[in-house]
Each structure stands twice: as structure tokens, then as C-alpha cells.
Structure 1
């Protein structure tokens, strides 16, 4: 860990026994994690998926086969390969296989509507897209306007054991959800590519400082942009999480992977960390299916359960929860959104004392920077301590460090900090700063460091909305709102939501003489936004409050909406 005169690191004294004060990230690349687990635990179950089981030895060979298949169809080192899949075995194979071929993975949300998908494929320059068959119709709407040259299609049935693999398509046809995609030309079958392919890809030199992943984020504001996360970044963050959880036993843990792998938190903690320790990864393709989550925990004896507050809250309040034994769970790190105190208390109670602790991170940090001790002092409402290898400062507007107890912007530095934003040097310069011999990421969050080195987020510097662990950028919502013919001006703000942490509240002013209902505004947004970005409430005003130069006062609107909600709840 680097040392500077500005750093006193009081948090080191709070580390639990066994957590290293120094952290050496090493020179591994991501495929090394899988290779080592395959070498040491070849027969150990790596993936469990709806009755199908894959060992680490088999997973490593499948990744090698897929890498060879990608090379065979023309994928070159450095090319971007977009992966648009839910949590299923194909995701893990595609991720590590693409990296073995020397490509850069682009995580692509299955929730994207065509416009969002088009933006990401164009911005990343992805020439290869791997997606589930049911998502294919969305791609066809934008195919003519994106650089994709080859599409690899798979289906849930491809990963199921007999007879489920036969019954699944029949069930999908009965329900009207079946999408048949015929391979040919530039469209390939994932299953066919692997069949008969030898696990012998052409050797490719992959460097630790090479970009492994483009993870799209709006940062703290603006349109989504690709954070360039290197192999070293992602390996380091998996290692930091491993160092923090001192009682993990390689080759014995079971991780319930409900949080999506296309989300950077799910990728690092549920997938990469699990591969690092040769854990059995129990794949849940749809985290909203709480019945499945509960049954998979009980059946698998899951010991680790990373997630987001909304997932834990849903389990706390599901009627089927009391019928399931969740006591195998030992540790859960909640990320991506603030963890409500009551959510944590209830979850610990129903699991018989599982350590559910709050952490903090950003996409640009791979993502974990802070977390509360697993078994040590857990300060409620705090994001905890910087993890091994991380430095953190609270800085004023002049870029000077503030004393303990003073509020300023949180800056973080460590081996997990991104290289920058893909194709956006100006945006990169705005969030990466050199100070005291280190590169720092400016988080955009206002924080305070308390006694003992615990940190607390007190406010957001920008207007980012976090709902259910997903980042929502007001501008994206406002762009869609403004396409409605009746809307004159619009703003999107976050309001407290007991379930999702926050939800989107739209404030609109209509054109003179125009008329539209709240339901019509919401329906309009559903056509242009992923479901989690759609406003849950709409407020109509004659005009929106603005600054002297005409900038809409989002913060004022948010405060007024929150006050109105509190008044309504109290009445």
C-alpha cells in the first residue's frame, strides 16, 4: 500500500484479526483465477443451475473451447465482445472465454430497450454480441445501425439437464415466450460453437494492465459511458474482498448468485470472488423470483449471499420466507445502495444471525472501496472502513484534505481504480486526479470520516438516483419525458422508497393547452426506458424552478417531493 504524508489511515486499527494491513495485488489476469481453481479443485462443483452441475475442470475446458471458437469466427485480441445474458452458465463461459481470446468484455444489461442497446453497442464499438434468444428481437431493431458483425445466440435450455432441456421450449411455446433464432450467416449458435471444439485456443498474451471490461455507468452524472476496468483492477478487487472476509474456506463455500453478473458488484463478488476461492456458484437467473431465491438458498446450503438492499428486503417480507431454512448463510455484503437499518435487523433475525453488513463502491472502482467489518464493529448507517489497499480522503472544494468530522467530497485511491472512461478523456480528467503521488477517483459523494476511520455518506454531490442498486441518471429519464408531445419541460429526481431505497419521481410542466394524465406519462416512459428507470410518480407544475441562468433546480424539487411524501405518510 502506498504511503503519503497526507495519509494517517486510522481505519487500519479497526481491521479484524486476519485482515492484512498491506495489500499486494500481484500480476494475475482474470483467467488465472479460473485456471488455478480448475487445477486445485477440478472435481469441485463450480456452477449449479436449475439441476445442472458443472465442475471447475469442466468450466475451464468450456472457457478454453469458447475462446477457440471466438478465434475461429474471427474475433481478434482487443476487440469488444458484448455479453447480454442473465446469470446462467453461458455467462461465465462467455466472460472467461472472451478474455482468454484477448478480447474486452462489455457487460450489457438484459433490461436495455433498443435505444439503450444501440447507444452501448455503438459507443463501445462492439463487433460481437452474445445474447439470450429472447433478447434477439430487440437487437434486430438496431442491427442496421450498430457495428456488430457477429451474433452468438443461446437459450436457457442449452444449460439445462435432460429432460428439462426438452420441456423448457415446450413450456415457452405454450406461454408464448418462445423466440426461435435460426443460425446462419453472421448468426451463430452458442451450443454449436462449443460442440466438438477442442479446448486449444491460440495463445494470446493478456497483460494485467490491459482492459478486461467496459462497464457502462453514468458516473455521477451524464449519459452512460464505459469505465475501463483492467485485469489488474478486477483481480485486485476480488482479492480485496477475499482479504476482508477472513473465514472463507477455499473449495467449501457456496455462493448464492442472484445479483446479476452484468452489474459490476455481482461480477466481482458473486462471480470473480467465488471463482478465486473455488466456491460453488448457485446461479439464479431472475433475482425478482424470490421463491426461487429462497428455495436455492435452502437447497444449496448457501454460505455467502451478496446482494442489494431491495433483495434482502424482499426476503424479509415474503410470505414463503418462514418455510425456508436460511441459517446456512454466514456473510452478506450489501452494496450498490444504502442499506436501511431495519432491513439489516430483520434479515439477521430470520437467518439466525447472518452477518449482513453495508459496503460502498463505484463502478469506476471495480467496485468495492469500503465495507463494515464482517464480525467486528458494524456502525449502523456507516459505509465502514476502506478495504485493504484502499486510501480514502475527505476533501474540500480546493482539493485539500479535511479533518475528521468535517464534510467534503470522498476521494478514493487504490489498485482497483479504473483506467478512465472509454473514448472520453475530458470526462476522465474530471474524475481522476493526481494528489500526493497517487491517482484518486473523485466519487461525487459528500462524506465524513468519523473517529476510528469509519466513513459515512451524508449527501450526493450530484443528482444520481439509486433504485434497487441500479444507477439512474436523471438526464436519461428527462430525455424520454421530453419526447412526449405534451411535455414542455421535465425533471427527474429521487425520492425515498422503503423497498427500492429510492424511486424516480418526475416533475413536468405541460405545453399551453396540452393535457395528459400521470398514467399516460408513465406508459410513454415504459417505451423508452428500462423498467427500473420508469418514474413511479409524476407531478404536474405550471413551471419548474430554475436558477438565474435557467438551470432547473433538481435539488429543490427533490427536497419538496420528499417533504410532500413525509407529510402524506404522517396524515
Structure 2
């Protein structure tokens, strides 16, 4: 198949189309950072700070304690923690043993947790004390032998560590954190303290040995474990560094508001940050006011995020009180970035906010707009170094012409090995090295790529194809709209019709008639929403990605209930 890599003509001179990735496993970059910059601050967590030497020492000690519990090369270790020093220590400790990290969302229900633990075959889990009840229930039906428990207060400075239990009790009065140790239940801090300080020696084949099982969102059934190797993760972090070519090793301060248990935060914040010996300013969860205060005080230079994060900050009533000018670059991922949001956020920082694109199966980043060059707004940008992208005509192996919409496929060294224990699912999306993304898009004449929507989110109304993103972009232009998402709902005449779910800005008033007129001025009549629903909030993931599928399910249930009543 002959392909024009026309995007390379749009590359700046500073970015090479091919990079050298070396042969070091992922954990070697922490060893290197500790040796070269032992006294540099690696982590800042709510006032607590840890140097690279301390992070390395604690990761190695914890690794050796895990080894004494039976963790070895190939063992799966579940890490069910919010952003905190323990999450970084547990992650790298597992890798030092040749183990496989199973990133586990702390918001998982008991059912979701059971599925992931059973599917992965994990025998060890590191969790927060608040999650112990859920983990204990899941332990009974899974292979878990060892539960390692930690608390947020374990790495808080005085007096926050003393006050934390009282604050926690006030916020969660019904949650008990009384834990009896023994019988396979261990305290995290004790394991770190008593571990041997000699780095484990494990042979790693970076191209073959897994570093991570990252479970997808499960939008088309039970979540699947994406197998990512050491090479996959090293490659993607180095590609990130090449794209951010004006950043300097050891000088950057990265705001870690994205959760590390999400592949995006894990790669572009944690792994990239440690690889470049940056200071990571860690927040356990995204709270707009806390983020603004943290930026004002800690002066981060890089702020990878998701669109809803930037939206929340822009709509905070005290935004103007805080200085965000330290921020030089933001890459937005996990969901489409509305142009309106991009333009407004760039007015409050000194750098650039660009849209990128990726998926769990690609470690995750494959594309981004130029951070230091001209941007093509509404585009996901150019493929990263060593990354190829193709647009295939619908249900065909034939390449689409520039400007022609088709399914997007990517190929590169960051693409997964496959799905854990699911060869049929793997063969369905990996074809001749190409990863079929399920996203519909097109490439323009200059090699910039545009996503029009998920293949499965396409709305077909009266025979016309409607891409939700196009409608959402228009809704975001309305001055009263804070958040918007569009879905297709059944319609007896058109087959499907467009429904918009909206959250208005605080104090804003807007009627359906006004929005309808606004949309019809900017969209063809068949694309304009026919139905509107105003809400106080929209369902989201921890990263802030709006869960369109939850709204689709809600609508489906309503329809079924209406049919029964009729």
C-alpha cells in the first residue's frame, strides 16, 4: 500500500521524523534520574516533597518487599490509588521486579473491580484505606493473595497528616477505615521501611515484556486489558519529549491533575516527567479552586489536561485572582477540545493549548498540534515521529483521498501488543500492523488530521450522516453554554434525531428556542438538535471525559419504559 506521508512536510525543523529509543526498560529512567539529580525534587504533594533519590530508594525497597510476598517477573500487580506518592512508588517498584502494573480506577464499583482482578489474574493489590471494603469483597472471588493498604495521610506533611483523619471522617462519616493487618493484609509504609535497598536485577526484553495492563473503558462490552510493553511506554514518553522540544530536562514543573491510573496521565505526566527529571506537582483529584491555587503558587510550566478541566477553570468565578502565566504548554486529550475553549484558555496562560489525540491501545498518544508553530484549529494535528496514520474508505482496505472521510488507522512503535487473553478481539483491530481506531476522520492537503466522530457515535437522521462533534462545537460557541454533548435518539420518522444535553454557566439563562435559532444559523437544518435537556452536571470519567454512552443508555431505558406504559 503506497502512502503519502504528507504530514512530514508540516513538521518544524526541530522535530525529527525518526527518533532513537534505546534499549533501556522504563524503570531505568528513574534509576538514572536518582543517580544524576539525587537532590532534585521529584514529587510535590500537598506540601510534602520527595527528591529523586528518595523516590528511587522507596521504590526499590518496596520492590524488594513485594518480592518477598511472591511478586516476580510477569506477576500482575493492581494499583488502585489516586494521584499520590504511593502510586508512583508502587508503579515503579512493580516494574523493577519485571512485574506488570494493572492500573485500577479507584472509582470502580465492586462489579468492575472483580472483573478486572479476575481477568488480569492479579495476586497483589495496593489500595487506599477508603477502598479496603470494596477490595476485600473482590478478593473473595479473585486470585488476590496480598492486599497492601495505604492512606493519603502517609505522605502528608505535619500537621496535615494529623488533621487528615478528622477531615476524612467529616467528609465521609459513613466510611470506616479500621483495618486489621495480617492474613495477607499489609501496611504500605511498613513494607517500604523494611525492604532491602539493593535494586533488583531482572532481565527485560523491552519489545516483548509487558509493563502494563491498561483496561479500556468497556464501551462495547466488558473492559479489555491492553498489553503495553516497556518499549511502547518508553517510545511514547520520548515522542512527547520530541514534540515539546523547547522544554529543558530538569527544569520543567509538570502539573499532575490528570490521574496516573489513566494511560494519558501515566504517559504524558508521570513517565515523561520522570524521564526528563521534572518536578511533578501532584493533586489527588481535580478540584478547580485547588488547581488554580496550585498553579498560582507552584508555577507549573506544563499542564496536560482534558477539555472539561480547562472549561472548569475558565468558568471559575475567581479565575482572575490567580496568576496562570507560568504555563508554557498544555496538550489536551481524552475528548475533543472545543475551539472556543482553546482560544479563551490561551488568553489566561503565557503559552499554548493544543489538541492531541490518542487511545489506550497506542500508549496513548499518536497525534498533536504543533505547540510552538502554527496550529490548525479543530484538528488533532500531525502524527508524532515514527507514527503513520491512514484513512481507509468505509469497510475497505482502500485509502481515502485528502478531505474524504473514512476510518482512521495508526501504525507505530507505541501500538499495543494486543488485548490480554483475547486473540479474536486483537485480530479485529490489529491488521498488518495497523490499529483500527474506530474513529471517523479525514486528512487535509497538508497532512493535518481531523476527527469527525466515533464510528459508533455517528447519527444517521433521514439518511444524512451527522457527526456529534460538529454540533457540539456550535453549542460551545453560545455564551451561556458551559458543557455540551450530543447523541442520537430513536425517531419514528427520521430513524434517529439529534438530542443535546447541556450544562449552562453559573447564572446564565437560556431557553430551548434561543439555542435552536442559534444552531440553525450555523448548521444545516438536519444537523440542528431537535431535543434539548438542561442538567446541573453531565456524567464523566475521572479524567473529565463526558460519558456519552451513559446518556445513550439512559435514553434507551426511557424509551423502553415508555413502550411498556403504552
TM-score, length basis structure 1: 0.81
The 3-state SS of whatever aligns with 2:179 is coil
1:149-178 residue CA offsets vs partner (Å, 9 max, x unmatched): 100000001011222212212332344255
- Following superposition, the deviation at residue 113 of structure 1 comes to 0.7
Question: Is 1:420 aligned with 2:414?
Answer: no
Q: Which residue of 1 aligns with 2:446?
A: 452
Distance in structure 2 (CA, Å) of the matches to 1:169 and 1:39: 36
- 1:220–1:143 CA distance, 2 compared to 1 (3 A): closer
Distance in structure 2 (CA, Å) of the matches to 1:74 and 1:494: 53
Listed as ranges, the matches of 1:386-535 within 5 Å are: 386-396=383-393, 397-434=395-432, 439-463=433-457, 497=502, 535=551
| 1:13 pairs with one of 6, 9, 12 | 9
Listed as ranges, the matches of 1:63-78 within 5 Å are: 63-78=59-74
Answer with 457-466 or 439-448: which moved more.
457-466
1:314-342 residue CA offsets vs partner (Å, 9 max, x unmatched): 00001121111100000000001000111
Q: Which residue of 1 aligns with 2:357?
A: 360
- Following superposition, the deviation at residue 206 of structure 1 comes to 2.0
- 1:424–1:15 CA distance, 2 compared to 1 (3 A): same
1:294-322 residue CA offsets vs partner (Å, 9 max, x unmatched): 11111111000000000000000011211
Q: Which residue of 2 aligns with 1:80?
A: 76
- 1:457–1:544 CA distance, 2 compared to 1 (3 A): farther
Distance in structure 2 (CA, Å) of the matches to 1:424 and 1:122: 14
Is the contact made by 1:360 and 1:383 (CA closer than 8 Å) also made in structure 2?
yes
Is the contact made by 1:216 and 1:224 (CA closer than 8 Å) also made in structure 2?
yes
Is the contact made by 2:21 and 2:234 (CA closer than 8 Å) also made in structure 1?
yes
Q: Which residue of 1 aligns with 2:212?
A: 213
- 1:324–1:184 CA distance, 2 compared to 1 (3 A): same
Listed as ranges, the matches of 1:52-451 within 5 Å are: 52-175=48-171, 176=173, 177=175, 179-209=177-207, 210-218=209-217, 221-287=220-286, 289-351=287-349, 353-396=350-393, 397-434=395-432, 439-451=433-445
Distance in structure 2 (CA, Å) of the matches to 1:495 and 1:115: 30
Q: Which runs of 5+ in 1 are unaligned?
A: 475-490, 501-517, 546-571
1:527-562 residue CA offsets vs partner (Å, 9 max, x unmatched): xxx9967549657336899xxxxxxxxxxxxxxxxx
Is the contact made by 1:48 and 1:281 (CA closer than 8 Å) also made in structure 2?
yes
- 1:362–1:498 CA distance, 2 compared to 1 (3 A): farther
Q: Which residue of 1 aligns with 2:493?
A: none
Is the contact made by 2:63 and 2:195 (CA closer than 8 Å) also made in structure 1?
no
- 1:144–1:330 CA distance, 2 compared to 1 (3 A): same
Distance in structure 1 (CA, Å) of the matches to 2:238 and 2:58: 24
Q: Which residue of 2 aligns with 1:478?
A: none
Q: Which residue of 2 aligns with 1:553?
A: none
Distance in structure 1 (CA, Å) of the matches to 2:233 and 2:102: 14
- 1:50–1:142 CA distance, 2 compared to 1 (3 A): same
- Following superposition, the deviation at residue 459 of structure 1 comes to 2.5
Distance in structure 2 (CA, Å) of the matches to 1:494 and 1:442: 28
Q: Which residue of 2 aligns with 1:508?
A: none
- 1:541–1:329 CA distance, 2 compared to 1 (3 A): same
Q: Which residue of 1 aligns with 2:491?
A: none
- Following superposition, the deviation at residue 222 of structure 1 comes to 2.7
Is the contact made by 1:111 and 1:531 (CA closer than 8 Å) also made in structure 2?
no
Distance in structure 1 (CA, Å) of the matches to 2:288 and 2:418: 37
The 3-state SS of whatever aligns with 1:145 is coil
Is the contact made by 1:391 and 1:412 (CA closer than 8 Å) also made in structure 2?
yes
Distance in structure 2 (CA, Å) of the matches to 1:168 and 1:21: 49
The 3-state SS of whatever aligns with 2:266 is helix
- Following superposition, the deviation at residue 398 of structure 1 comes to 2.0
1:389-420 residue CA offsets vs partner (Å, 9 max, x unmatched): 10011112221212211111111000000000
- Following superposition, the deviation at residue 202 of structure 1 comes to 3.8
1:395-448 residue CA offsets vs partner (Å, 9 max, x unmatched): 1222121221111111100000000000000000000011xxxx1100011111
- Following superposition, the deviation at residue 32 of structure 1 comes to 1.3
1:473-514 residue CA offsets vs partner (Å, 9 max, x unmatched): x9xxxxxxxxxxxxxxxx9x99565689xxxxxxxxxxxxxx
Q: Which residue of 2 aligns with 1:561?
A: none
TM-score, length basis structure 2: 0.81
Is the contact made by 1:407 and 1:446 (CA closer than 8 Å) also made in structure 2?
yes
Question: Is 1:35 aligned with 2:31?
Answer: yes
- Following superposition, the deviation at residue 219 of structure 1 comes to 6.8
Number of residue pairs aligned between Structure 1 and Structure 2: 488
